[in-house]
Amino acid sequence: MTRFDNLFQQGLASFAAQGRMRSCKQWHAAGPGLLQQPDSGAVLVDFSSNDYLGLRTHPLLLERASMWARAEGSGSGASRLVTGTPPQTVALEQRLAALKGMEAARIFSSGWQANASVVPALARLSAQVTGAPAVIVADRFMHASLYHGCAAAGVRPKRFRHNDMAHLDALLGQDAGDGLKIVLTESVFSMDGDRADMEALRTITQRHNVFLCVDEAHATGILGEHGKGLAHAQADLVIGTFSKALGGMGAFIAASHAVCRWLDNTASGFIYSTAPSSMVLGAVDAALDLLPGMDEQRAHVADLAARFRELMEGAGLDVGPSTTQIVPVVVGAEQTALALTQAVERAGFLAVAIRPPTVPPGGCRLRVVFHAHHTQEQMEALANAIIAATRDIAGEIGG
């Protein structure tokens, strides 16, 4: 207890009253795509995590992680600017650059850290070289970490309507001074599962001489030719993560040699953070070995998501603009989403409720995510559980 606990309890009570209280549950892996509750022993099929290709338990990743750890140790000891970079990390960055069709890459400890670091670094370039502040134009649905980066840079972004290329074009056409113009967006949006129009983004940003920065967290490994993502060779800078389709932890930024050297000197998350461990990077190296041969798994995931959307829409449920492995089932209110996720859990599935501030008020949903481990039968059983639960909940509200 501290003398300030009463204030925190009041704040928590406010969250609870709004249906926005969050807490971490205990789970452990119970097999590919399965989670088990330690206390009850209940096993659920995981439709919530971002392990799109099911690689986080793949034997090759575990073996390579152990091999790299034996060679370099369990931790890196310091930032790379202090203790240097092992040769295998340099080689891994070259592989990551090639994956995105870029000249170079830099590894970061997390996607949040990469996004929060890159925006201030780009803004500093504008101030230092052009003598004018950067102008940032952002998709209004971009990830919170990119917004955090804007705040850290002291730049208030102009926001264009989600995936509205005409609005983006109009904003970029406005006279904004001599500073570097930067467009921030994602190639796949994590809550709606829809895609950015990469060709249009490239055309518009090139016409206006704008630096295009694309977060590929939810596309890397699972979408595009052999899992290269959707922004391959189409952006000036691409952020990718290891924590989703690649089955590990951490992130990378791919760009030109000059951009990456600038990040070495200005990206706070690179300069002041301990480098990721060799165990983490060994697993990534193994995942990159597997990616080219996983077209069948990627197609399977796409088929599951497409069929699930059909079943939801056939039942009159809203799946938003999803075209990827991420399919929201939008139900509106916080309490409705919580009741639905609890009903689905009782049926043997984990599909968590997403509530504000992650999504706008009135946009609460179950975020359903498909993995290569999922079967057609599991997908259909989940769909039936959601349909039945929504009818029950609607009946209770109507009664």
**Residues forming the active site:** 50, 143, 186, 190, 215, 218, 244
Q: Is 99 helix (H, G, I), strand (E, B) or coil?
A: helix
- Backbone torsion region of residue 154, taken as left when φ is above 0, otherwise alpha when ψ lies between -120 and 50, otherwise beta: left
243 close to 111: Cβ distance less than 8 angstroms:
yes
Q: Is 242 helix (H, G, I), strand (E, B) or coil?
A: coil
CA distance linking residue 52 with residue 297, whole number of Å? 9
Q: What are the distances in angstroms from CA 279 to CA 20, 33, 63, 85, 349? A: 36, 22, 10, 14, 31
The DSSP bridge partners found for residue 158 are 137
272 close to 311: Cβ distance less than 8 angstroms:
no
Q: Is 213 helix (H, G, I), strand (E, B) or coil?
A: strand
Beta strands across the sheet bearing 43-46: 28-29, 34-36, 43-46, 349-350
- Backbone torsion region of residue 31, taken as left when φ is above 0, otherwise alpha when ψ lies between -120 and 50, otherwise beta: left
List CB contacts of 355: < 8 A, sequence separation 6 or more.
Answer: 19, 20, 334, 337, 338, 364
328 close to 365: Cβ distance less than 8 angstroms:
yes
Give, for 314, the enclosing helix (H) or strand (E): helix 295-314
Q: What are the distances in angstroms from CA 374 to CA 33, 50, 158, 224, 290? A: 7, 13, 40, 20, 19
18 alpha carbon, distance to own chain's centre:
26
CA distance linking residue 393 with residue 355, whole number of Å? 18
CA distance linking residue 23 with residue 313, whole number of Å? 31
